[in-house]
């Protein structure tokens, strides 16, 4: 009987450790005095993804980070996130509407993007929702 319980526990641990998708630490959901982005909007025009948002936080400076990945074809979950762009923290960016355009280069790849605020002391805000973007060939429409 004890042997059956051991096997069950081992199988449960293996399943938990090898589940679909990549694991990462829980993300913040509230500002907690941390830097944050508000009013995030995205628009796809042809093969250009336009992002607009406002940075809030420490008046001494807030910047932002953008990560991107592709959808894993086997588990249909996000792959490994990699840093795509980082804007250093600057005082003039706090409370100002920011705009960032991303060239998707071709219409064959669907990308996932996420963005978060970071202040000059390295404090990180919560990641935004995932933004799906795939270029559109405007010549064939």
In degrees to the nearest 10, what's the CA dihedral of 120, 125, 131, 137? -10
Classify burial at 53, counting beta carbons within 10 Å of its beta carbon; exposed 0-12, middle 13-18, buried 19 or more: buried
CATH number for the domain harbouring residue 100: 2.60.40.10
**Does residue 107 fall inside a structural domain?**
yes
Domain annotation covers residue 11:
no
Q: Does the predicted TM-score (pTM) go above 0.95?
A: no
Residue 54 located in a structural domain: yes
Decide if pLDDT at 25 tops 90.
Answer: no
Residue 40 lies in a domain: yes
Count how many domains the chain has: 1
Q: Which pLDDT band holds residue 29 (cuts at 50, 70, 90)?
A: very low
Nearest to 63 by CA among 32, 87, 37, 94: 87
Residue with the bigger pLDDT between 22 and 12: it is 12
pLDDT over threshold 70, residue 22: no
**Inside any domain, residue 12:** no
Mean pLDDT, range 89-101, rounded to an integer:
93
């Amino acid at each position: 009987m004890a042997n059956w319980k051991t096997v069950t526990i081992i199988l449960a641990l293996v399943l938990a450790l090898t589940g679909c998708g990549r694991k990462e630490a829980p993300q913040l959901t509230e500002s907690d005095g941390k830097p944050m982005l508000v009013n995030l909007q995205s628009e796809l025009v042809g093969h250009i993804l336009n992002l607009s948002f406002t940075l809030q936080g420490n008046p001494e400076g807030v910047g932002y980070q953008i990560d991107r990945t592709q959808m894993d074809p086997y588990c249909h979950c996000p792959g490994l996130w990699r840093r795509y762009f980082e804007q250093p923290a600057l005082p003039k960016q706090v409370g100002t509407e920011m705009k960032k355009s991303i060239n998707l280069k071709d219409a064959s790849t669907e990308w996932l993007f996420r963005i978060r605020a970071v202040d000059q002391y390295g404090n990180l805000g919560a990641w935004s929702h995932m933004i799906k973007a795939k270029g559109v060939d405007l010549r064939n429409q």
